[in-house]
A and B are shown apart, each in its own frame.
Chain A
Amino acid sequence: DAGVIQSPRHEVTEMGQEVTLRCKPISGHNSLFWYRQTMMRGLELLIYFNNNVPIDDSGMPEDRFSAKMPNASFSTLKIQPSEPRDSAVYFCASSFRRGSVRDQPQHFGDGTRLSIL
């Protein structure tokens, strides 16, 4: 298993452009998390999906950010329009959750390093 796969690994773009980050969770996992990591704020949860449904998006910074999970094997995080302060490393993680049983550990991808000029 290749684990959680994120693409691209690096993205450099100019402010105002649309940015789309992609994530393929581990097969069989039904929970997916998007995180953002910055020097100032560390690692922050942006949004959580369970069974492809967004459950908690309270960490999404503003309306310019949106995330979708059209099926169990794919999710996107989109920023439109992008701003320099969005520069960060964005991580995707997945895990398995079964009912009220304690969640399995989250498995992280390699992250996407985003630079907005």
Chain B
Amino acid sequence: AQRVTQPEKLLSVFKGAPVELKCNYSYSGSPELFWYVQYSRQRLQLLLRHISRESIKGFTADLNKGETSFHLKKPFAQEEDSAMYYCALNLGTGFQKLVFGTGTRLLVSP
């Protein structure tokens, strides 16, 4: 089955600590993966996509096909990073058909 798994519902770290939000996927084709973020009282928005190989707000994510993972990382967490993070997989059936994980809440404490 095609799915995205985010094993942690909550990740709590202190400011300045490294962060890794885990995402594993199950997909038989060539995967296209995304990270979406929802800050408090804001809309769900795209954070980054693996094809762009970019770093947004200090976050990076590398697609590891061997481990079927797309973990989101940041070396030094900031309080403003506190939010819900969703990993999404594009099933790629002719349009951007996204399957989302259940999300991980990141809480960065001072």
Contacts and interface: CB of A to CB of B under 8 A. Distances in A.
B43 A55 contact: no
B17 interface: no
Interface residues of A, number: 22
B95 A108 contact: no
B44 interface: yes
A88 interface: no
Pick the most buried of B43, B45, B100: most chain A CB atoms within 10 A of its CB. Answer: B43
Interface string B67-110: 00000000000000000001000000111111111110000000
Interface in A63-95: 91, 95
A56 interface: yes
A6 to B, nearest CB: 10
A103 B61 CA distance: 20
Interface of B: 34, 43-46, 49, 51, 86, 93-103
15 contacts: A3-B43, A31-B95, A31-B96, A42-B100, A42-B102, A43-B103, A45-B98, A45-B99, A55-B95, A56-B95, A56-B97, A95-B96, A103-B95, A107-B45, A108-B45
